[in-house]
A and B are shown apart, each in its own frame.
Chain A
Amino acid sequence: MAFNTWVVTCAAVIHRPRRSGGGIHSGPRGLSMSLRRVQAWTKRASTKRPRQFGCHVIEVSGLSKRYASRLAVDEISFSVGEGEVVGFLGPNGAGKSTTLRMITGFLAPSRGQVKVAGIDVDVDPIGARRMIGYMPEGVPLYPEMRVAEYLRYRAALKGVPRREVSSAVERSLDQAAVDDAADRIIGQLSKGYRQRVGLADALVADPPIVILDEPSSGLDPNQIRQVRELLRGFAGQKTVFVSTHILPEVEAICERVVIIHEGKKVGEGAPHELRQQFGGRHLVRLVGRGSLEAFRRALADVEGLREIVALEAEADRVRGTLEVDPNSDASEHVFTAVAAAGLLLRELHVEEASLEAVFGELTTSEEQADAGADVDADADVEERDPGGDPEDDSPEESV
């Protein structure tokens, strides 16, 4: 965690001079540079992911939403392929919920177009909604109803044939792990249960597309894991588009991420590729036994090693942090070099830059103060506490 913070700080320090022309909006250089990188990446990705997902199930093009004087969503375009699990990432107030509401047809876009399974949401809203199971932010439910009763109502409303309602309700209760609460009154449920009733609602008509707004808020770690497993299980069967600002969640379940900030799309790609693209320094940490001198000699000329960031003796051990070339197998070279020098290695692991660093880089602008004000103004739409995640999902590789 401390390391991630450190990387974010580093990234900020490294990139500040480049953006001195202005913020991510006004600074033509800063923006165009990162945009060019995104575009370059997107081009590569599209050639790399050829026919796996034949058609785009969600297609958003040039989507904008203006609230009175404020542009909440600004010319966003992206698409989600069939069977993909895609994360929609952005800080609070970035326009995530507004975008989801336009995709589901609850709000009309000011400009732009949304197609769901090839259906233009504006032309045939009901046809488009038939394809979607949606869980809005905050999961508004009818507090006076019982869980199973509510799901039967929703199934009927979504056009599940009468005879299949019971089995559909049972399936969704099971999928969302709320079968033990089927007969309880919604108003008396805990937030975590209500959240999962909302999830069951989204799944009850077995829709090909599932859109979830902050699905894991209010859940405890075990429930979060269950929801993630469920969503991961949908990969290849259902198209899942899930908004979140919890980064480990994205790492854990999404094949691809769309990042937005202040209404604009600022990044798109697979988590690991975004990490490579924007993640800052790649570090290898080691702990070994031997003298500091011997280690210094052994590491002097290792392939892919850029810099010895730190190397210090601690009793009979040596601890080191090395910056390596992200695209080399530097950790292997470090291992062989140390072994060849006859030294003992107790620990060696690659600390990949986290998605947090990417997120920090893409969504930190010079006008942080302004952004803060915006978040306040949008508080009624996007009010969430950050929901700390106890799991440490930062990927690491041990040798």
Chain B
Amino acid sequence: MRSTFVIASREVRSFFASPMAYVVLMVWTLWSGLSYYFFASLYAMNGSQAGTDTPLSSFFGGTILFFLPQLVFVPVLTMRLLADERRSGSLELLLTAPVSEVSVVLGKYLAAMVFWVALWLPSLLYVWITSRFGAVDMGTVAASYVGILGIGVYNMAIGLLASALARNQMIAAVMTFFFLGGLFLLGIGQYVFMDATRDILAYLSVWSHMQDFSKGIVDSRDLVYDGSIAVLALFLSVRALAARRDAA
């Protein structure tokens, strides 16, 4: 247990010691600031057309502006985790220390979740700004953050799995991009297909998932979905790490 935290804290410290952390955070903050500004001014101009939508509900998952950057930022945040250790050879030092593969994977995962949370911390500012100019339903906001955490739980696990499989961090990033992009596309399928296919695709869709959360609906099926993908990906990461011992 202690080794998990030791690994996670080293990972987090190294991340925030690297210039990449600040480049990523700055670009992300710019992007989300712009998209928040866009929604805020849109609803300020046409308040009557908004219906049940608010600037915050649109920001948290109403449009593609929420999902598109994640396809880039998740791979960038997770690609180094294990692939870099493998490339530099420091994986040998890590795995010859008295720690299990499970604690290595959990430590890296914990660090990735810290990155994810760091990504969303600035968005609390938008909640505060909005609350100064109108009524904000804090319950809805809390539900949105639960949804974001749920997305992070499985996005980061998938990124970590790609990083465990690939020797090269660019390959890890591309794998994560295609996997998450594929899931996103499947989700769009719910507007294309009918009947059972539609239901399955709706269940897989991050989009409808986040639309519910951003309106304050916490659907436990979505959380189960996030959790099960994460557990599967983490399990496969542990297996990938263990299988390396037998390979050349």
Contact B245–A108 (Cβ < 8 Å): yes
Contact of B96 among A67, A105, A142, A159 (CB under 8 A): A105
A101 at the interface (CB under 8 A from B): yes
Contact B18–A157 (Cβ < 8 Å): no
Expressed in whole angstroms, the Cα–Cα distance for A144 and B85 within the complex equals: 13
Of A36-44, A125-133, A320-328, the segment with at least 4 beta carbons within 8 Å of chain B is A125-133
Instruction: Contacts A106-B96, A140-B92, A156-B3 known; list 7 others, CB within 8 Å.
Output: A107-B245, A126-B98, A142-B14, A144-B18, A145-B14, A145-B17, A154-B93
Residue of A nearest to B248 (CB): A67
Expressed in whole angstroms, the Cα–Cα distance for A27 and B7 within the complex equals: 52
| Minimal beta-carbon separation of B106 from chain A (angstroms) | 14
Residues 68-110 of B, flagged 1 when their CB comes within 8 A of A and 0 if not, give 0000000000000000000011111111111110000000000
Contact B100–A126 (Cβ < 8 Å): yes
Residues 55-73 of A, flagged 1 when their CB comes within 8 A of B and 0 if not, give 0000000000001100000
A331 at the interface (CB under 8 A from B): no
Which 5 A-B residue pairs are closest in the complex by CB-CB distance?
Answer: A140-B89, A67-B248, A140-B90, A108-B245, A130-B98
B6 at the interface (CB under 8 A from A): yes
Contact B97–A142 (Cβ < 8 Å): no
B195 at the interface (CB under 8 A from A): no
Residue from B89, B92, B245 with most neighbouring chain A CB atoms (10 Å): B92
Residues 136-150 of A, flagged 1 when their CB comes within 8 A of B and 0 if not, give 101011101100000
Contact of A106 among B14, B18, B95, B99 (CB under 8 A): B95
Question: In the complex, what residues of B have CB within 8 A of residue A142's CB?
Answer: 10, 14, 90
Question: In the complex, what residues of B have CB within 8 A of residue A201's CB?
Answer: 93
Contact A138–B6 (Cβ < 8 Å): no
Residues 39-71 of B, flagged 1 when their CB comes within 8 A of A and 0 if not, give 000000000000000000000000000000000
A-B contact pairs, 18 of them (CB 8 A): A68-B248, A104-B96, A105-B96, A105-B245, A107-B246, A126-B99, A126-B100, A130-B98, A132-B96, A140-B89, A140-B90, A140-B91, A153-B6, A156-B2, A157-B6, A157-B7, A158-B98, A201-B93
Contact of A136 among B6, B7, B93, B245 (CB under 8 A): B93
Question: In the complex, what residues of A have CB within 8 A of residue B17's CB?
Answer: 144-145
Contact of B246 among A108, A129, A136, A153 (CB under 8 A): A108
Given A129-B96, A130-B98, does the pair A140, B6 have CB atoms closer than 8 Å?
no
A134 at the interface (CB under 8 A from B): yes
Contact A136–B248 (Cβ < 8 Å): no
Residue of A nearest to B245 (CB): A108
Contact B96–A134 (Cβ < 8 Å): yes
Question: In the complex, what residues of A have CB within 8 A of residue B99's CB?
Answer: 126, 157
Interface size range on A against B: 20 to 34
| Minimal beta-carbon separation of A8 from chain B (angstroms) | 33
Expressed in whole angstroms, the Cα–Cα distance for A227 and B96 within the complex equals: 22
Question: In the complex, what residues of A have CB within 8 A of residue B97's CB?
Answer: 129, 154, 157-158
Residue of B nearest to A67 (CB): B248
Residue of A nearest to B100 (CB): A126
Residue from B7, B100, B248 with most neighbouring chain A CB atoms (10 Å): B248
| Minimal beta-carbon separation of A56 from chain B (angstroms) | 21
Question: In the complex, what residues of B have CB within 8 A of residue A138's CB?
Answer: 89
| Minimal beta-carbon separation of A127 from chain B (angstroms) | 8
Contact B6–A156 (Cβ < 8 Å): yes
Residue of A nearest to B10 (CB): A153
Expressed in whole angstroms, the Cα–Cα distance for A158 and B98 within the complex equals: 6
Expressed in whole angstroms, the Cα–Cα distance for A140 and B96 within the complex equals: 13
| Minimal beta-carbon separation of A109 from chain B (angstroms) | 10
Given A126-B100, A134-B96, A145-B14, does the pair A157, B90 have CB atoms closer than 8 Å?
no
Question: In the complex, what residues of A have CB within 8 A of residue B18's CB?
Answer: 144
Question: In the complex, what residues of B have CB within 8 A of residue A107's CB?
Answer: 245-246
Question: In the complex, what residues of B have CB within 8 A of residue A105's CB?
Answer: 95-96, 245
Given A136-B92, A153-B6, does the pair A144, B14 have CB atoms closer than 8 Å?
yes
Question: In the complex, what residues of A have CB within 8 A of residue B90's CB?
Answer: 140-142
Residues 99-141 of B, flagged 1 when their CB comes within 8 A of A and 0 if not, give 1100000000000000000000000000000000000000000
| Minimal beta-carbon separation of B169 from chain A (angstroms) | 15
| Minimal beta-carbon separation of B59 from chain A (angstroms) | 34
Residue of A nearest to B107 (CB): A157
Residue of A nearest to B14 (CB): A144
Expressed in whole angstroms, the Cα–Cα distance for A153 and B5 within the complex equals: 11
Expressed in whole angstroms, the Cα–Cα distance for A130 and B99 within the complex equals: 9
| Minimal beta-carbon separation of A208 from chain B (angstroms) | 13
| Minimal beta-carbon separation of A156 from chain B (angstroms) | 5
Given A68-B248, A156-B6, A157-B3, does the pair A101, B98 have CB atoms closer than 8 Å?
no
Question: In the complex, what residues of B have CB within 8 A of residue A68's CB?
Answer: 248
Residues 1-39 of B, flagged 1 when their CB comes within 8 A of A and 0 if not, give 011001100100110011000000000000000000000
Contact of B92 among A106, A126, A144 (CB under 8 A): A106
